[in-house]
Amino acid sequence: MTAVSAEMVKQLRAKTGAGIMDCKQALGECGGDMDKAVEFLRKKGLATAQKRAGRAMTEGTIQSYIHMGGKIGVLVEVTCETDFVAKNEDFVEFARNVAMHIAATNPLAISPEDVPAETVEKEMEIYRGQAREMGKPDNIVDKIAEGKLKKFYQENCLLNQQYVKDPDKTVADLINEMIAKIGENITIKRFARFQIGG
């Protein structure tokens, strides 16, 4: 077992926002390797999130973000399980950061499941057409189109997008980290983005 210094724990906490004991455990399990410890904590956060997925979320917050001197505005509703967490500073800050991210990236939907079927079909037709134009054989056309659709989801679905403040994470990773940190299930329920002349 590698000796874990207080400085290493401090660095990992700054990177992940996880608790002291979690950081200590992650560094111990990963032989002091910072990148592996971050991955370890992410997986742990995901496991916590999955355990809590069935819980009812009847509390939450609505936060806003206004950008470019009032030219772009976002309202986002983020739900949680208890009133205690809804008033928690970290939770409110998280919701504000999500609103700011939405202002910057203009997602079409929260998750791929929320993208209208006709939009998906239209995109697939465009991608198939592009693949055929490139002279690709029919058995490869669908594979290419599916690959491009995956990229479309990464760019246009909030949960799949790279988080603007830390492109190494997706918004879904950010949610899972928050769930691990506060110990409650949270979800981005809905958002509205307004743009002057948009």
- Identify whether 143 is part of a domain: yes
Closest of 55, 50, 27 to residue 39, by C-alpha: 27
pLDDT recorded at residue 104:
95
pLDDT recorded at residue 87:
93
- Identify whether 1 is part of a domain: no
Decide: 90 and 178 in contact? Cβ < 8 Å. Answer: yes
pLDDT recorded at residue 3:
76
Together in a domain, 40 and 24: yes
Together in a domain, 68 and 100: yes
Together in a domain, 171 and 144: no
Closest of 133, 196, 181, 128 to residue 19, by C-alpha: 181
pLDDT recorded at residue 54:
59
State which residues of the chain have pLDDT below 50.
Answer: 1
- Identify whether 187 is part of a domain: yes
Closest of 179, 176, 177, 174 to residue 163, by C-alpha: 174
- Identify whether 63 is part of a domain: yes
pLDDT recorded at residue 62:
96
Burial group, residue 131, by CB count within 10 angstroms (0-12, 13-18, 19+): buried
pLDDT recorded at residue 124:
94
Cβ–Cβ contacts within 10 Å for residue 76, how many?
A: 26
Together in a domain, 171 and 188: yes
Together in a domain, 130 and 187: no
Together in a domain, 97 and 174: yes
Residue 123's domain comprises 116-155
pLDDT recorded at residue 59:
93
pLDDT recorded at residue 35:
87
CATH of the domain at 91: 3.30.479.20
Structural domain total, the chain: 3
Together in a domain, 102 and 187: yes
Confidence (pTM): 0.70
Together in a domain, 100 and 171: yes
Together in a domain, 64 and 138: no
- What is d(CA 29, CA 42) in angstroms, rounded to the nearest whole number? 14
CATH of the domain at 149: 1.10.286.20
pLDDT recorded at residue 88:
92
